């Protein structure tokens, strides 16, 4: 197996260290500047006006009163935007969120769509004037049906996502069958930091201070949308107050702010407010998933069918890839995964942490639980029995799959030997205890990246790349890799990220950033070291002058004779000073996994298992998630603290998915009726269980030298079904539509 063939690379103790974020002090002291924190002299403020219907057209828009209000500079609408700036659809040279540019015509396809942008001297003036804009609509009946059956969609052939064997005959002849539909609601990303753009126009260049999970992609899309060369767009995102996927791709407000800045020839700030966060910047779409499982009399899964559909908007085809993990998670000879899109008068959806896999695993791991109950099998043992080291959808071996070890380790740590399967059979005082388990999976990817490292003559290092830190710890990981290879302590390494004018880095999405950036940082560091060593041999005042460069080594920040200890060497900055140079510079460039010959013929994924305990108080129908144990097979862990933090946060988000989160749209108007922080519930401290996280820490030999895979998303996969499985164990109630509500608990 590839695992045993791992390169004999031994990283230093800094890799895997329990290291706090290097940008932590900047954030906790308020020095860190987020996009909306930027202020410029003469800055104007924008407030967007949004539609109050979900379907129809604008008959007329009256900005006359608003335009005369104090401080108002301009009102942008679909009637005048073309004369102000002609925008083009983005999305050819980068990925955009919405294909249609904002304010392009008078058509309304969802409640909350931008219909005007008011620009004023102050935010308050813009806000006041925005309330004075009168829009007259021609309404048509919106399609807001929560049931994702749809005559139009149903008439079209389903898209086949994965297929092997013959599910129909295998299911027909199966001894034990599960045939159920599972539903996950629309969920809204609610990062603390709302989306915002501060746009600055300095002919011929736009500078956009952005809330972006991908500054380089944002630059590419904006260059297309605004029709200017890429070098005339600079996107800056130094810090992010999280994103969860909502900030992956540009949203229309960014282009609106840029257009306004050029038109006014003034910097413009445009923030998306919390209410607009529920309509204008994406959401996880509602899904409806039909699963058919068939097992033979011996308890072997012989047939697995997963048909899913998800809601998308009228103009964009966003597929929530619910079958992400279905084709390869368990061994089965017959399998079919199909999908369909269903259009609704709701804004465009977008990836949300573990897109597809997370709602998909709710369905699959619920159905597997139902099957194990029907088979009277232990849910852990069933999953172990159906483990496979070959991806049966492709026939390729996994680069590194330890799902069985996750299950065994988790069962041991959770105390699964005490599990008694009968419903309501486990008690603690007056409370009924329920235990549930579910598997987790998320793709392991690596994209292209560049990095630049400068070993500076003042003894510090600067490492830079056009990546960004969502809050996950990317800054810290850059410093760790440089420190690992140079022996220079973390506090002397300065990381510069979040600027599209740096050498290009990847988007922080799909849990790809860590695996993607590591090879480029490593190469850039090694190249900078090479330059330092060459400088040492070619500088007359250097103690190593005239020596062959390959007789030297670089450790603990010193250049030394390879055969002698680092302590005998010379600090590199002394050599640079002797050479009268400011820096030894190195660049690194690494390609995507798909182009790596070493990765051909492997299936690359991360795995995990979630064990959940719920406490149920039958007297008052009170349900609480009391304990979660998460065992993650995510490759080598680069930073234990930030990695554990990713899983802890994801588990909390999973409690929200199981018990609280859902965006409810008015069935009449399409307005999110809980579109605010008071009514859209996310877990508070009181809702949080005791959480334990275990990383197996097996380096993936295919992903790269460090063997790291991403771990930003997998922690959420499997939590919601483990909760509903535990609820069933405690109460016998099977919840197939999230979230679990008080009504479903009382329905016994």
* Closest distance of CB 468 from ligand MOS, Å: 11
283 sits near ligand MOS (criterion: CB under 6 A): no
Category of 56 on φ-ψ map: left (φ > 0), alpha (ψ -120 to 50) or beta: left
Q: How many helices (H) and strands (E) does the chain have?
A: 19, 29
* Closest distance of CB 224 from ligand MOS, Å: 22
Distance CA 728, CA 438 (A): 13
Window 297-336: contact mask with ligand MOS (x via CB under 6 A): ----------------------------------------
Identified catalytic residue from 320, 523, 713, 737: 713
Distance CA 638, CA 97 (A): 31
- What lies within 8 Å, CB to CB, of 722 at 6+ separation is 365, 436, 437, 438, 610, 611, 612, 628
509 sits near ligand MOS (criterion: CB under 6 A): yes
Dihedral, CA atoms, 688, 281, 107, 47, nearest 10 degrees?
Answer: 110
**DSSP per-residue letters across 351-370:** --SSTTHHHHHHHHHHHHHH
- Is the CB of 471 or the CB of 510 nearer to ligand MOS? 510
Window 199-218: contact mask with ligand MOS (x via CB under 6 A): --------------x-----
- Is the CB of 56 or the CB of 347 nearer to ligand MOS? 347
191 sits near ligand MOS (criterion: CB under 6 A): no
353 sits near ligand MOS (criterion: CB under 6 A): yes
* Closest distance of CB 663 from ligand MOS, Å: 16
351 sits near ligand MOS (criterion: CB under 6 A): yes
510 sits near ligand MOS (criterion: CB under 6 A): yes
Tokens representing 564 are 């002698």
Question: Is residue 523 a contact partner of residue 590, using CB atoms and an 8 Å limit?
Answer: yes
586 sits near ligand MOS (criterion: CB under 6 A): no
Distance CA 557, CA 487 (A): 5
Segment near ligand MOS (CB under 6 A); pick from 274-282, 351-359, 450-458, 717-725: 351-359
Three state DSSP letters for 432-453: EEEEEEEEEEEECCCCCEEEEE
* Closest distance of CB 646 from ligand MOS, Å: 11
DSSP state of 204: T
284 sits near ligand MOS (criterion: CB under 6 A): no
* Closest distance of CB 694 from ligand MOS, Å: 23
Tokens representing 4 are 């045993």
DSSP state of 249: S
* Residue 713 annotated to the active site: yes
Window 233-272: contact mask with ligand MOS (x via CB under 6 A): ----------x-x--x------------------------
DSSP state of 474: H
- Is the CB of 471 or the CB of 504 nearer to ligand MOS? 471
- Is the CB of 385 or the CB of 682 nearer to ligand MOS? 682
* Closest distance of CB 508 from ligand MOS, Å: 7
Window 656-695: contact mask with ligand MOS (x via CB under 6 A): ----------------------------------------
Residue list 699-718, contact with ligand MOS (CB under 6 A): 713
Dihedral, CA atoms, 679, 682, 688, 694, nearest 10 degrees?
Answer: 170
352 sits near ligand MOS (criterion: CB under 6 A): yes
- What lies within 8 Å, CB to CB, of 307 at 6+ separation is 158, 289, 290, 291, 336, 337, 338, 339, 340
Window 457-496: contact mask with ligand MOS (x via CB under 6 A): ----------------------------------------
**DSSP H stretches of helix in 58-210:** 64-67, 81-84, 123-130, 151-155, 167-172
- Is the CB of 514 or the CB of 535 nearer to ligand MOS? 514
Distance CA 395, CA 418 (A): 37
Distance CA 463, CA 675 (A): 41
355 sits near ligand MOS (criterion: CB under 6 A): yes
* Closest distance of CB 244 from ligand MOS, Å: 6
- Is the CB of 264 or the CB of 657 nearer to ligand MOS? 657
* Closest distance of CB 340 from ligand MOS, Å: 22
Question: Is residue 706 a contact partner of residue 695, using CB atoms and an 8 Å limit?
Answer: no
Of 153, 174, 148, nearest in space to 285 by CA: 148
Which residue in the shown chain puts its C-beta closest to ligand MOS?
A: 245
* Closest distance of CB 632 from ligand MOS, Å: 17
- Is the CB of 129 or the CB of 248 nearer to ligand MOS? 248
Of 6, 5, 4, 11, nearest in space to 483 by CA: 11
185 sits near ligand MOS (criterion: CB under 6 A): no
Q: Which residue is associated with the tokens 């309304």? A: 108
Interface with ligand MOS (CB under 6 A): 213, 243, 245, 248, 351-353, 355, 509-510, 713
Residues belonging to the active site: 713
């Amino acid at each position: 197996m590839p695992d045993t063939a791992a390169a004999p690379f031994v990283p230093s103790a800094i890799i895997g260290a329990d290291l706090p974020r290097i940008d932590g002090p900047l954030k906790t002291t308020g020095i860190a500047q987020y996009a909306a924190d930027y202020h410029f002299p003469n800055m104007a403020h924008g407030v967007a006006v949004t539609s109050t219907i979900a379907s129809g057209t604008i008959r007329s828009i009256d900005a006359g009163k608003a335009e005369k209000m104090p401080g108002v500079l301009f009102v942008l609408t679909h009637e005048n935007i073309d004369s102000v700036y002609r925008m083009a659809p983005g999305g050819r040279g980068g990925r955009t969120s919405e294909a249609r540019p904002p304010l392009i015509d008078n058509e309304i396809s969802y409640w909350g769509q931008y219909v005007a942008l008011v620009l004023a001297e102050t935010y308050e003036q813009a806000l006041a004037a925005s309330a004075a804009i009168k829009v007259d609509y021609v309404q048509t009946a919106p399609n807001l049906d929560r049931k994702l059956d749809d005559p139009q969609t149903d008439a079209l052939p389903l898209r086949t996502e994965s297929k092997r064997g013959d599910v129909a005959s295998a299911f027909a002849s199966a001894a034990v069958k599960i045939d159920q539909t599972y539903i996950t609601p629309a969920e809204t990303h609610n990062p603390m930091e709302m989306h915002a753009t501060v746009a600055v126009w300095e002919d011929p260049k736009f500078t956009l201070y952005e809330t972006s999970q991908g500054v380089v992609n944002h630059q590419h899309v904006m260059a297309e949308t605004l029709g200017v060369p890429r070098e005339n767009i600079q996107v800056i995102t130094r810090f992010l107050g999280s994103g969860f996927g909502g900030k992956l791709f540009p949203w229309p407000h960014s282009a609106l702010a840029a257009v306004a800045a050029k038109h006014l020839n003034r910097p413009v700030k445009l923030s998306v407010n919390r209410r607009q966060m529920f309509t204008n910047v994406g959401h996880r779409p509602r899904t409806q998933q039909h699963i058919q499982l068939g097992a033979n009399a011996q308890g072997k899964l012989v047939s697995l069918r997963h048909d899913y559909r998800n809601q998308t908007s009228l103009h964009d085809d966003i597929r929530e890839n619910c079958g992400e993990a279905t084709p390869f998670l368990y061994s089965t000879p017959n399998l079919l995964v199909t999908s369909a899109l269903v259009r609704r008068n709701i804004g465009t959806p977008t990836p949300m942490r573990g897109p597809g896999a997370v709602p998909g695993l709710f369905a699959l791991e619920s159905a597997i639980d139902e099957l194990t109950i029907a088979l009277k099998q232990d849910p852990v043992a069933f999953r172990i029995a159906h483990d496979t080291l070959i991806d049966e959808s492709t026939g390729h071996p996994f680069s590194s799959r330890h799902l069985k070890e996750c299950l065994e380790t988790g069962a041991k740590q959770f105390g699964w030997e005490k599990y008694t399967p009968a419903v309501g059979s486990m008690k603690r005082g007056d409370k009924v205890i329920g235990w549930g388990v579910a598997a987790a999976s998320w793709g392991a990817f690596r994209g292209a990246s560049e990095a630049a490292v400068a070993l500076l003559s003042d003894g510090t290092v600067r490492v830079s790349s056009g990546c960004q830190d969502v809050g996950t710890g990317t800054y810290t990981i850059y410093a760790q890799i440089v420190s690992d290879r140079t022996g220079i302590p973390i506090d002397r390494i300065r990381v510069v990220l979040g600027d599209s004018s740096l050498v290009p880095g990847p988007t922080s999405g799909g849990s790809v950033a860590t695996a993607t950036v590591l090879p480029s940082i490593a190469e850039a560091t090694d190249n900078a070291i090479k330059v330092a060593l060459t400088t040492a041999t070619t500088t007359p005042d250097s103690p190593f002058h005239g020596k062959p460069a390959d007789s030297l080594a670089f450790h603990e920040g010193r250049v030394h004779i390879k055969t002698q200890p680092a302590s005998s060497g010379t600090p590199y900055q002394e050599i640079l000073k002797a050479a009268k140079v400011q820096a030894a510079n190195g660049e690194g460039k690494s390609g995507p996994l798909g182009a790596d010959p070493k990765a051909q013929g492997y299936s690359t994924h991360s795995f995990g298992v979630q064990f959940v305990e719920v406490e149920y108080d039958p007297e008052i129908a009170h349900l609480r998630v009391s304990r979660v144990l998460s065992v993650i097979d995510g490759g080598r862990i680069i930073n234990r603290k930030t990695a554990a933090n990713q899983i802890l946060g994801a588990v909390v988000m999973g409690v929200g998915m199981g018990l609280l989160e859902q965006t409810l749209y008015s069935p009449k108007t399409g307005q999110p009726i809980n579109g605010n922080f008071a009514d859209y519930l996310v877990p508070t401290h009181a809702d949080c269980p005791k959480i334990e996280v275990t990383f197996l820490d097996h380096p993936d030999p295919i992903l790269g030298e460090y063997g790291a895979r991403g771990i930003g998303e997998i922690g959420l996969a499997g939590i919601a079904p483990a909760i509903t499985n535990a609820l069933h164990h405690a109460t016998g109630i099977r919840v197939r539509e999230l979230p679990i509500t008080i009504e479903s608990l009382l329905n016994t």
